[in-house]
Amino acid sequence: MIGKFFAAGVLLLSSAASAETPLERGAYLVNAVAACGNCHTPFGPNGPDMSKDLSGRLVIKEEAFDAFAPNITQDKKTGIGAWTDEQIIKAVREGVRPDGSIIGPPMPIALYRGLSDTDVKAMVAYLRTVKPVENAMPKSVYRIPLPPSYGPPVGHVPDVPAGVTVEYGAYLAGPVAHCVECHSTPGPMGPDWKNALGAGGMKFEGPWGISVAPNLTPHEDGIRDLTDAQVAKIITAGIRPDGSQMFPPMGFGFYAHMKPDDLSAIIKYLRSIPALPDPK
């Protein structure tokens, strides 16, 4: 009997020790899976300038638009320090700023609409702890029409149970890490999730030259012949099986901090999607 009580006590203590607070969950999502700093942290001469973490930078300058990721630190003048939690959540999930203006690409609002209530609140809880950095960013300039909205107001979004499952992997690779945003073939209205989910082909131009998002589907052009360990190394270290290094904007510096089970769930999901060849 004593042994049973002891075992139960150890189990309870273990569960309590492993429980995540909202702040811890938010820090993990912002700094690892969602990789917010991949767009919102400015660059210095040696890479991301962490002294100005999340204070904004120019992300894309191309024919269609000049996109500046805004300052999302707690600075009240140039950041989001004066916004309410509800205003931040609406900006993230609905793409609507407090002044009513629409947030344009590359912010993946169509995917962020699927962030669970629990997770988006946890992310806001973490952002409230980010040190304020005064860094005024220019407004993005769009030479394409922006939608009047990304859909109706987001209602309740339930949690997806965590685990090494296709369902949780789809949640992480979609609404959270937005893998399918960059790795789906572009269509006339943006990434073609319906016909080319994960098939790659999107081009990114920067100081490194031009990088092309690879195929993530279980096709021979994608990850079919790669082991889970090889796929994990690509995601977390940016190193291909032949030893070559991937270029930005792949956020492997952030994904390196992903939990092993979360990484496994994403890979499990990628192996479940339709196998598609590289776009021609």
Q: pLDDT, tens digit, for every residue of 109-161?
A: 999 999 999 999 999 999 999 999 999 999 999 999 999 999 999 999 999 99
Cβ-based neighbour number of residue 41 at 10 Å:
24
- Domain-embedded: residue 237: yes
Structure confidence at residue 205 (pLDDT) = 83
Domain span at 68: 21-145
**200 and 125 assigned to the same domain:** no
Cα separation, 137 vs 188, whole angstroms = 29
pTM of this structure:
0.91
The verdict on residue 11 lying in a domain is: no
Confidence of residue 81 (pLDDT cuts 50, 70, 90): very high
- Sequence-separated (6 or more) residues with CB below 8 Å from residue 180: 111, 173, 174, 191, 193, 197, 198
- Do 140 and 182 share a domain, yes or no? no
- Residues 33 and 110 grouped into a single domain: yes
Q: What is the mean pLDDT of the chain?
A: 92
Structurally, how many domains does the chain consist of? 2
Is 16's pLDDT higher than 70? no
Q: Which of 30-34, 146-150, 187-191 has the lowest mean pLDDT?
A: 187-191
Q: What is the rounded distance in angstroms from the CA atom of residue 280 to the CA atom of residue 275?
A: 15
Q: Tell me what pLDDT residue 246 has.
A: 92
CATH of the domain at 214: 1.10.760
Asked, for residue 121, whether it belongs to a domain, the answer is: yes
The model's confidence at residue 3, banded by pLDDT at 50, 70 and 90, is very low
Is residue 93 situated within a structural domain?
Answer: yes
**How crowded is the C-beta side of 110, counted as CA atoms within 13 Å?**
14
Quote the pLDDT of residue 47: 80
Least confident of 78-92, 119-133, 185-199, 266-280: 185-199
**Residue 251 counted as domain residue:** yes
Residues 57, 128, single domain; the answer is yes
The model's confidence at residue 1, banded by pLDDT at 50, 70 and 90, is very low
What per-residue string of b and e applies to 84-122 under the rule 16 or more CB within 10 Å gives b? Answer: eeebbbbbbbbbbeeeeeebbbbbbbbbbbbbbeebbbb
Check residue 188 and give its pLDDT: 82
pLDDT value at residue 4 = 38
**Could you say which of 145, 171, 188 is where a domain stops?**
145
pLDDT at 48: 87
For the record, the structure tokens of 236 come out as 């977390």
Of the residues 113, 145, 177, which one is the last residue of a structural domain?
A: 145
Does residue 2 fall inside a structural domain?
Answer: no
The answer on 176 and 138 residing in a single domain is no
247 in a structural domain: yes
- pLDDT-based confidence at residue 46 (cuts at 50, 70, 90): confident
- Provide the pLDDT for residue 13: 35
Contact in structure between 108 and 165 (CB atoms under 8 Å): no
Which among 121, 145, 169 is the end of a domain?
A: 145
Q: What is the 3-state secondary structure (H, E, C) of the chain?
A: CHHHHHHHHHHHHHHHHHCCCHHHHHHHHHHHHCCCHHHHCCEECCEECHHHCCCCEEEEECCCEEEEECCCCCCCCCCCCCCCHHHHHHHHHHCECCCCCECCCCCCHHHHCCCCHHHHHHHHHHHCCCCCCCCCCCCCEECCCCCCCCCCCCCCCCCCCCCCCHHHHHHHHHHHCCHHHHCCCEECCEECCCCCCCCCCCEEEECCEEEECCCCCCCCCCCCCCCHHHHHHHHHHCECCCCCECCCCCCHHHHCCCCHHHHHHHHHHHCCCCCCCCCC
Same domain, 31 and 136: yes
pLDDT category at 11 given cuts 50, 70, 90 is: very low
In which band, very low, low, confident or very high, does the pLDDT at 34 lie, cut at 50, 70 and 90? very high
Does a structural domain hold residue 208? yes
Residue 62 has what pLDDT?
87
Structure confidence at residue 15 (pLDDT): 37
Which amino acid is located at 107 in the chain? M
